[in-house]
Structure 1
Amino acid sequence: MRIRSQNWLAAGLAAMALSACASVPDLGAAPQLRAPESLAADQALAAAPAAFPDDRWWTRWQDPQLDALVAEALAGSPDVALATARLAQAQAMVGQARAAGEPQVDLEASVGGVRPSLNQGFPRGFLPENVRSQGYLGLNFAFDPDLWGRQRAQLAAATSGARAAEVDAAQARLLLASSVVRTYADLMGAFARRDRALETIANAEADLGVARERNARGLDSAMPLRAAEEALDRAEGSLALADEEIALARNMLAALVGQGPDRGLAIARPQMADPFALALPQNLPADLVGRRPDLVAARLRAEAAAARIGVARADFYPSVNLAAVIGLQAVPLDLLFRQSSLTTQFGPALRLPIFEGGAIAARYEGARAQYDEAVAAYDAALLTAVRQVADAAAQKRAIATQLAEATEAYNAARAQLALARQRTDAGLADSRAVLSEQRDVIAAERSVAALVARDRQADVALAVALGGGFDEMTTDEGSQ
Structure 2
Amino acid sequence: MRLLILPIVLALSACSMIPALVKPALPVPTAYTTEADSGTHANAADLGWRAMFGDPRLQRLIESALNDNRDLRLAALNVQAAEAQYGIARAARLPAVDATGSLTRQRTAADADANPPVLEATQKQFGVNVGLSAFEIDLFGRVRSLSDAAFARYLASDQGRRAVQIALVGAVADAYFAERLAQEQRQLAERTLGDWRQSLDLARRLRAAHQNSGLDVAQAEGQVASAEADLEARTRAVAQARNALRLLVGAELPVDLPEPLPLEQQPVVTQLPVGLPSELLLRRPDILQAEQNLVAANADIGAARAAFFPRLSLTTSLGFISPAMSSLFDGGQRVWSFAPQVTLPLFEGGRLRSELRLAEIRKSSAVAEYERAIQTAFREVADGLAGRETFSRQIEAQTRVVASEARRTELSNLRYRAGVEGRLELLDSQRQLYAARQALLDLRRAEFGNAVALYKALGGGLTDTGAAPVVAAR
Tell me the TM-score range normalised by the shorter chain.
0.7 to 0.9
- The offset of 1:278, in angstroms, is 4.3
Residue 476 of structure 1 pairs with residue 471 of structure 2? yes
Residue 91 of structure 1 pairs with residue 83 of structure 2? yes
Structure 2 match to 1:13: none
TM-superposition CA deviations, 1:15-61 (whole Å, max 9, x none): xxxxxxxxx9xxxx99954332x412635442445522336325423
1:257-336 equivalences in 2 (<5 Å): 257-260=249-252, 268-271=259-262, 273=266, 276-284=269-277, 286-331=278-323, 335-336=327-328
Residue 356 of structure 1 pairs with residue 348 of structure 2? yes
- The answer to whether the 8 A contact 1:55-1:470 is kept is no
SS of structure 1 residue aligned to 2:44? coil
- The offset of 1:105, in angstroms, is 1.7
Structure 1 match to 2:181: 189
Structure 1 match to 2:12: none
- The offset of 1:333, in angstroms, is 5.9
Q: 1:151 aligns with which of 143, 151, 158?
A: 143
CA distance in 1, matches of 2:140, 2:174: 52
Residue 34 of structure 1 pairs with residue 29 of structure 2? no
Contiguous gaps of at least 5 residues in structure 1: 1-23
Structure 2 match to 1:226: 218
- The answer to whether the 8 A contact 2:149-2:299 is kept is yes
- The answer to whether the 8 A contact 1:200-1:439 is kept is no
Structure 1 match to 2:35: 46
Residue-pair matches, total: 447
1:154-165 equivalences in 2 (<5 Å): 154-165=146-157
- The answer to whether the 8 A contact 2:45-2:283 is kept is no
Structure 1 match to 2:379: 387
Aligned CA-pair RMSD: 3.5
CA distance in 2, matches of 1:466, 1:473: 12
Q: 2:72 aligns with which of 80, 95, 100?
A: 80
Cα 1:456/1:468, change in 2 over 3 Å: same
- The answer to whether the 8 A contact 1:134-1:331 is kept is yes
Cα 1:464/1:125, change in 2 over 3 Å: farther
Q: Which amino acid in structure 2 is aligned with residue 281 of structure 1?
A: V
Structure 2 match to 1:217: 209
Q: Which amino acid in structure 1 is aligned with residue 24 of structure 2?
A: R
Cα 1:131/1:150, change in 2 over 3 Å: same
60-69 vs 137-146, greater mean Cα deviation: 137-146
- The answer to whether the 8 A contact 1:48-1:278 is kept is no
1:99-118 equivalences in 2 (<5 Å): 99-114=91-106
- The offset of 1:193, in angstroms, is 0.8
TM-superposition CA deviations, 1:292-331 (whole Å, max 9, x none): 1111111101111111111121111111234431111234
123-132 vs 310-319, greater mean Cα deviation: 123-132
TM-superposition CA deviations, 1:396-419 (whole Å, max 9, x none): 344344323312222323444565
SS of structure 2 residue aligned to 1:185? helix
301-310 vs 240-249, greater mean Cα deviation: 240-249
CA distance in 2, matches of 1:220, 1:178: 54
Q: Which amino acid in structure 2 is aligned with residue 309 of structure 1?
A: I
Residue 374 of structure 1 pairs with residue 369 of structure 2? no
CA distance in 2, matches of 1:321, 1:124: 48
Normalization by structure 2: what TM-score? Answer: 0.83
- The answer to whether the 8 A contact 2:270-2:448 is kept is no
- The offset of 1:216, in angstroms, is 1.6
- The answer to whether the 8 A contact 1:32-1:375 is kept is no
- The answer to whether the 8 A contact 1:115-1:128 is kept is no
Structure 1 match to 2:455: 463
- The offset of 1:139, in angstroms, is 0.9
Cα 1:55/1:78, change in 2 over 3 Å: farther
CA distance in 2, matches of 1:124, 1:238: 112
Q: 2:126 aligns with which of 131, 135, 139?
A: 135
Q: Which amino acid in structure 1 is aligned with residue 81 of structure 2?
A: Q
- The offset of 1:95, in angstroms, is 2.0
SS of structure 2 residue aligned to 1:218? coil
- The answer to whether the 8 A contact 1:140-1:325 is kept is yes
- The offset of 1:438, in angstroms, is 5.0
SS of structure 2 residue aligned to 1:370? helix
CA distance in 2, matches of 1:127, 1:231: 116
Cα 1:130/1:279, change in 2 over 3 Å: same
TM-superposition CA deviations, 1:149-194 (whole Å, max 9, x none): 1222122111111111111111121222221111100011112212
Cα 1:274/1:139, change in 2 over 3 Å: closer
SS of structure 2 residue aligned to 1:72? helix
- The answer to whether the 8 A contact 1:107-1:139 is kept is yes
Cα 1:60/1:279, change in 2 over 3 Å: closer
How many percent identity over aligned positions?
A: 28
- The offset of 1:197, in angstroms, is 0.6
Q: Which amino acid in structure 2 is aligned with residue 364 of structure 1?
A: L
467-476 vs 93-102, greater mean Cα deviation: 467-476
Cα 1:455/1:462, change in 2 over 3 Å: same
Cα 1:390/1:401, change in 2 over 3 Å: same
Contiguous gaps of at least 5 residues in structure 2: 1-16
228-237 vs 387-396, greater mean Cα deviation: 387-396
